[in-house]
């Protein structure tokens, strides 16, 4: 089976689901945000503040492309990774790409106390989420599979993904 890549909006649970999924498959789990922070030696907020978003996106591209050629990996991507068309096309051609989809209501709720997410550093959080969602949702929908997460627990989400990929 190919590698599995999880995409989707901030707060949908890509890391939590990815970790549990990797465990079930006995795959390596790889979180692009964790790797970026490790390489940069600072958290995401600091990276944006010190080096800017462009630098973060470059690292994001590098850490994901470095991993995609390896075998038996579940990769959780940051919510903005798919906005790099070249990177997204590469993922679509090399892996099984799963979009974790949440309703806006769930996202407002989950992101209301979000920290370490500079993309949401905005005076009107709801408006910011709306804007990003409108821009990104059609892109996420290009994934190979779409898994809705509203009202589902971690185990059922993982089972649903397993039934898709196996």
Name which of residues 109 to 148 contact ligand S3P (CB under 6 A). 117-119
Looking at beta carbons, which residue is closest to ligand S3P? 78
| Residues 67-86 as x/- pattern, contact with ligand S3P by CB under 6 A | -----------xxx------
How many CA atoms are closer than 13 Å to the CA of 13, on its beta-carbon side? 22
Q: Pattern 18-57, binding to ligand S3P, x per CB under 6 A?
A: ---------------x----------x-------------
State the residues that interact with ligand S3P by CB under 6 A. Answer: 10, 14, 33, 44, 78-80, 117-119
């Amino acid at each position: 089976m190919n590698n599995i890549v999880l995409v989707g909006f901030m707060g949908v649970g890509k890391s939590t689901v990815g970790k549990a999924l990797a465990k079930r498959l006995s795959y390596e789990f790889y979180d692009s945000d964790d790797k970026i922070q490790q390489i940069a030696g600072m958290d995401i907020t600091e990276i944006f503040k010190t080096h800017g978003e462009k630098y973060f996106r470059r690292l994001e591209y590098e850490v994901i492309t470095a991993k995609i050629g390896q075998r038996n990996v579940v990769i959780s991507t940051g919510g903005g990774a798919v906005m790099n068309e070249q990177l997204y096309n590469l993922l679509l051609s090399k892996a099984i790409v799963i979009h974790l989809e949440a309703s806006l209501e769930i996202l407002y709720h989950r992101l209301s106390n979000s920290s370490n997410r500079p993309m949401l550093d905005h005076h009107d959080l709801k408006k910011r989420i709306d804007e990003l969602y409108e821009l990104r949702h059609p892109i996420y929908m290009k994934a190979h599979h779409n898994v809705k997460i509203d009202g589902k627990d971690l185990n059922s989400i993982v089972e649903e993904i397993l039934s898709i990929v196996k």
